[in-house]
């Protein structure tokens, strides 16, 4: 007889238990740990609100908060200003080369932001290509350092989010909607402002929230290009990392402030914006109009121009990598492979590390993601709802905060991971697994439960039926998800910088450090390897699996 115990002793309850354990170790406990640390006084060791008082009292910390909000608001506004017309032109008008423009416009999403920052330093920083050119010509160009550079890089890297979301919204308006308005007597402008704009607005807001979130949690760009312009994530890192007088309470408090902001944004996104979506499946897509010659040319110039400005810096990085250098001085026009030879022969370790860590965390991530997705989609229960909320939690935590939390928690005590490669793999896994779960869950929802039951009915036990029938059906999607996980893990900097130690430096750390010490040549070589490692799999993804990265974001 199946006793109540035997009923609970199955694979899936084991998976459920394991999932909660993983989330507790990887997310909940570390978050609790720094939260608690933020209430400990650095002087007395007792409970206190000192750190929080300091943040809201001292102009220095308060300015970090204000700076973070300032660049994020500005970059979000500019992204909207660019992304909305960009989407509208490309969706509604015949523009030459629009497919190429669309594809290229999604690339900044996957190219690491801190390489964007590096690229602009190579172009317009002190000793930068343009900087030198303009200086020779006696023209003063505005400094790239500080908030201007941060906002510039953020805008160029994040506007595609707005573009993609707004495009999707525009294309989901059935033609009949606008026709109905016209039929009721509205003129073209009236239709646009009373129908098109309101229907698209939730998508714009949703995209804006995402961009705002990405700006405020970003670490690589402000630390590379911000110089004295400190933002929250950078200051939290500084407080945590400085060997002398490192202040864990202050790092914890700054992390908590950042956490409250990112959590708030995520909740807002989930409960407010998602509900206000008018998504419908358009039976007839809106008409693609042919504008006059001059308007078409202007629209083309706008779209192609933006894409060029967003991608050209990455080309400069690649050119720099094969240019003769000595320290920060670049001899543009003189070809040399020295940077690559050095990277591959003398210091190949970061490359190996990056590939190894990305591969390990991706493999673990897809297996875990698949099992958890199954629990969430097929075995709904009170516990799986809780699991659903918990596994998505890392999406609302800034990388720097996650890194600080993990490093602080597993430095001493029961489990010591700080200083091993495993803590990096754990951080990557935790950070990227929500994406894996999202993709596999939506795939799983498309496969009817009866397909599995048919297999069980034909004599295959449940778990084997899952492996034999469900997994093969989902395979293309799983591979696509794995590729996205792999490339985004390769490009991870914000938690890596906190968690790595000597021999486990990754390519991203190497690029960051070489930029810091003015070795532009080697930095560009690693950056180029990283860019190629990211773009090649994505090319195959698009070519052979018929998917692009937009499906996974």
Partner 1 sequence: MKVVLKGISKIFGKLRAVDGVSLEIEDGDFFTLLGPSGCGKTTLLRVIAGFYPPDEGEVYFGERLMNDVPPHRRETGMVFQNYALFPHLNVRENIAYGLRVRKVPDGEMDARIGDVIRSVRLDGLEKRFPGQLSGGQQQRVALARALVISPQILLMDEPLSNLDAKLRVAMREEIRRIQKDLRITTIYVTHDQEEAMAVSDRIAILNLGKLEQLGAPDEIYFNPCSRFAAEFMGGSNILELTALGYDEASSRLRAESGGEPLTLCIPRPAGERICLSVRPEWVRIVEDGGDDTIEGTVESTTFLGALVRYRVRALGGQSLMIEVHNPRSRDIRREGDPIRFRFDAERLVMLGN
User: Which residues of this chain interact with partner 1, rule CB under 8 A?
Assistant: 1-2, 447-448, 450-451, 453-462, 465, 469, 472-473, 475
**256 versus 455: smaller Cβ distance to partner 1:** 455
Tell me how far the alpha carbon of residue 125 is from its chain's centroid: 25
**Minimum CB–partner distance for residue 224 and partner 1 (Å):** 46
**193 versus 544: smaller Cβ distance to partner 1:** 544
How far is it, in rounded angstroms, from Cα 226 to Cα 394?
26
How far is it, in rounded angstroms, from Cα 507 to Cα 354?
6
How many of the other CB atoms lie within 10 Å of CB of 400? Answer: 29
How far is it, in rounded angstroms, from Cα 104 to Cα 97?
11
On whether the CB atoms of residues 511 and 523 are closer than 8 A, the answer is: yes
**Minimum CB–partner distance for residue 542 and partner 1 (Å):** 22
**Minimum CB–partner distance for residue 5 and partner 1 (Å):** 14
How far is it, in rounded angstroms, from Cα 251 to Cα 237?
7
**4 versus 45: smaller Cβ distance to partner 1:** 4
**Strand ranges for 293-432 from DSSP E:** 323-326, 329-335
> Residue 458 is encoded by which pair of tokens?
């034909």
**97 versus 381: smaller Cβ distance to partner 1:** 381
**3 versus 245: smaller Cβ distance to partner 1:** 3
**298 versus 475: smaller Cβ distance to partner 1:** 475
> Residue 514 is encoded by which pair of tokens?
């070489």
> Residue 205 is encoded by which pair of tokens?
């807001």
**Minimum CB–partner distance for residue 464 and partner 1 (Å):** 9
- Interhelix angle 399-409/197-217, rounded to 10 degrees, is 40
**Minimum CB–partner distance for residue 455 and partner 1 (Å):** 7
**Minimum CB–partner distance for residue 2 and partner 1 (Å):** 6
How far is it, in rounded angstroms, from Cα 424 to Cα 505?
10
CA gyration radius, the chain: 25
**411 versus 473: smaller Cβ distance to partner 1:** 473
How far is it, in rounded angstroms, from Cα 12 to Cα 378?
10
How far is it, in rounded angstroms, from Cα 409 to Cα 73?
33
**Minimum CB–partner distance for residue 506 and partner 1 (Å):** 37
**7 versus 275: smaller Cβ distance to partner 1:** 7
How many of the other CB atoms lie within 10 Å of CB of 187? Answer: 9
> Residue 469 is encoded by which pair of tokens?
């029938």
Check residue 40 and give left, alpha or beta (phi > 0: left; psi -120 to 50: alpha). beta
**2 versus 346: smaller Cβ distance to partner 1:** 2
């Amino acid at each position: 007889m199946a006793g109540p115990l035997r009923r609970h002793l199955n694979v899936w309850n084991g998976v459920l238990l394991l999932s909660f354990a993983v989330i507790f170790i990887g997310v909940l406990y570390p978050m609790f740990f720094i939260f608690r640390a933020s209430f400990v006084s650095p002087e007395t060791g007792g409970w206190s609100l000192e750190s929080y008082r300091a943040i809201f009292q001292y102009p220095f910390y308060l300015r970090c908060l204000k700076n973070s909000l300032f660049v994020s608001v500005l970059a979000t506004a500019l992204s909207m200003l660019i992304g909305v017309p960009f989407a509208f032109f490309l969706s509604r008008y015949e523009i030459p080369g629009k497919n190429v423009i669309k594809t290229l416009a999604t690339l900044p999403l996957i190219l690491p932001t801190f390489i964007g920052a590096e690229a602009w330093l190579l172009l317009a920083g002190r000793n930068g290509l343009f900087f030198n050119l303009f200086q020779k010509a006696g023209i003063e160009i505005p400094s790239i350092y500080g908030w201007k550079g941060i906002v510039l890089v953020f805008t160029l890297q994040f506007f595609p989010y707005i573009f993609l979301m707004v495009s999707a919204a525009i294309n989901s308006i059935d033609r009949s909607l606008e026709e109905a308005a016209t039929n009721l007597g509205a003129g073209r402008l009236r239709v646009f402002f009373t129908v098109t704009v309101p229907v698209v607005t939730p998508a714009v807001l949703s995209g804006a929230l995402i961009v705002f979130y990405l700006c405020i949690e970003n670490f690589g760009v402000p630390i590379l290009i911000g110089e004295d312009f400190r933002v929250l994530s950078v200051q939290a890192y500084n407080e945590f990392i400085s060997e002398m007088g490192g202040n864990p309470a202050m790092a914890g408090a700054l992390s908590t402030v950042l956490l409250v902001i990112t959590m708030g944004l995520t909740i807002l996104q989930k409960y407010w914006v998602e509900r206000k979506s008018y998504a419908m499946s358009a039976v007839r897509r809106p008409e693609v109009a042919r504008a006059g010659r001059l308007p078409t040319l202007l629209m083309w110039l706008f779209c192609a121009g933006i894409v060029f400005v967003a991608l050209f810096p990455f080309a400069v990085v690649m050119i720099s990598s094969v240019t003769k250098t000595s320290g920060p001085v670049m001899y543009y026009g003189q070809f040399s492979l020295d940077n690559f030879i050095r990277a591959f022969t003398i210091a190949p370790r970061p490359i190996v590390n990056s590939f190894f860590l990305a591969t390990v965390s991706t493999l673990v991530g897809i297996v875990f993601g698949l099992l958890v997705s199954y629990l969430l989609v097929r075995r709904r229960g009170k516990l799986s709802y809780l699991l659903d909320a918990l596994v998505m939690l890392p999406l609302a935590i800034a990388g720097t905060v996650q890194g600080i939390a993990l490093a602080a928690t597993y430095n001493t005590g029961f489990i010591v991971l700080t200083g091993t490669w495993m803590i990096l793999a754990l951080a990557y896994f935790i950070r990227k697994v929500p994406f894996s779960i999202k993709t596999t869950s939506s795939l799983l929802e498309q496969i009817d439960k009866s397909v599995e039951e048919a297999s069980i009915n034909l004599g295959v036990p449940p778990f084997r039926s899952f492996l034999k029938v469900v997994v093969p059906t989902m395979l293309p999607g799983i591979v696509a998800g794995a590729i996205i996980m792999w490339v985004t893990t390769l490009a991870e900097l914000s938690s890596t910088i906190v968690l790595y130690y000597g021999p486990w430096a990754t390519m991203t750390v190497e690029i960051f450090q070489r930029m810091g010490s003015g070795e532009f040549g080697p930095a560009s070589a690693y950056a180029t390897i990283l860019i190629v490692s990211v773009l090649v799999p994505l090319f195959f993804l698009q070519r052979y699996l018929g998917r692009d990265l937009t499906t996974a974001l």
